[in-house]
């Protein structure tokens, strides 16, 4: 009896695990969205350093938000021309989206677009941060230039084999690496300026 009970529990666990894995499986789905929505999703994923699939799944996998959007749905056709765009999303997200669309008789494209609209305040915040990052990068460039001048003076005063010069050289290499990384972050974020 105990062996049968353990086998049943084990089988039930495997079925749940299999269903969970199947739900995470990636599928392709095409939606007709405005250019603004497509850009918003792309820009925010880039700014946050996450995959569009993860962001998309996060936005559209929220049942309660989808229900609220579906209930408030009215003006989908007015926002301008839409473009077909294919995304990779999880099977569970697609099933959830279709279930809510059918239940509330709402186009799934509308649910997706209005879900994306919810991230616009995040884009505004990221845009403000981007402006601050650019100022910090300018300060960092100035700091690096001053440090390079100090390093040159130290080399002239003490020579390149002096331990103080060697420590300052290590520091400047580290500062240069940091400056390049910050520059890379700022460059990646430049797309947000025109949104």
State how beta strands 82-90 and 26-34 pair.
antiparallel
- Please tell me the number of Cα atoms within 13 Å of 187 on its side-chain side: 6
Q: Is the pTM of this model over 0.85?
A: no
Instruction: Based on the fold, state whether residues 133 and 69 are members of the same structural domain.
Output: no
Give domain status of residue 31, yes or no: yes
Residue of 140, 129, 161 whose CA lies nearest to 43? 129
Tokens of 48: 């946050």
pLDDT above 70: percentage of residues in the chain: 82
Final residue of a structural domain among 118, 134, 167: 118
**Which of 5-14, 53-62, 98-107, 172-181 has the highest mean predicted lDDT (pLDDT)?**
172-181
Give domain status of residue 4, yes or no: no
Instruction: Based on the fold, state whether residues 101 and 34 are members of the same structural domain.
Output: yes
Final residue of a structural domain among 85, 118, 151: 118
Instruction: Based on the fold, state whether residues 111 and 132 are members of the same structural domain.
Output: no
Give domain status of residue 10, yes or no: no
Domains held by the chain: number: 2
Structural element, H or E, at residue 176: helix 163-189
Instruction: Based on the fold, state whether residues 81 and 134 are members of the same structural domain.
Output: no
| Arithmetic mean of pLDDT, 62-88 | 73
Give domain status of residue 14, yes or no: no
User: Could you tell me the pLDDT band of residue 157, with boundaries at 50, 70 and 90?
Assistant: very high
Instruction: Based on the fold, state whether residues 102 and 180 are members of the same structural domain.
Output: no
Higher pLDDT, 180 or 87: 180
Instruction: Based on the fold, state whether residues 28 and 114 are members of the same structural domain.
Output: yes
CATH of the domain at 27: 1.10.1220
What domain range is 94 assigned to? 23-118
Instruction: Based on the fold, state whether residues 38 and 91 are members of the same structural domain.
Output: yes
Query: 91-104 and 2-24 helices cross at what angle (nearest 10)?
Result: 80
Final residue of a structural domain among 84, 118, 152: 118
Higher pLDDT, 156 or 60: 156
| Cβ–Cβ < 8 Å for 169, 151 | yes
């Amino acid at each position: 009896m105990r062996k049968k009970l353990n086998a049943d529990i084990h089988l039930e666990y495997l079925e749940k695990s299999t269903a969970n894995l199947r739900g995470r499986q990636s599928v392709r789905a095409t939606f007709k969205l405005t250019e603004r929505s497509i850009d918003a999703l792309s820009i925010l994923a880039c700014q946050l350093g996450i995959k569009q699939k993860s962001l998309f799944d996060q936005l559209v996998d929220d049942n309660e938000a989808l229900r609220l959007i579906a209930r408030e749905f009215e003006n989908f056709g007015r926002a301008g021309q839409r473009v077909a765009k294919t995304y990779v999303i999880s099977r569970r997200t697609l099933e959830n989206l279709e279930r809510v669309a059918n239940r509330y008789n709402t186009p799934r494209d509308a649910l997706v677009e209005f879900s994306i609209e919810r991230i616009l305040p995040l884009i505004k915040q990221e845009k403000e941060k981007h402006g601050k990052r650019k100022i910090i990068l300018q300060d960092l460039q100035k700091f690096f230039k001053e440090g390079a001048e100090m390093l040159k003076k130290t080399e002239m005063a003490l020579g390149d084999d002096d331990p103080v010069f060697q420590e300052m050289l290590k520091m400047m290499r580290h500062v240069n690496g940091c400056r390049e990384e910050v520059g890379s972050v700022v460059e990646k974020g430049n797309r947000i300026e025109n949104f």
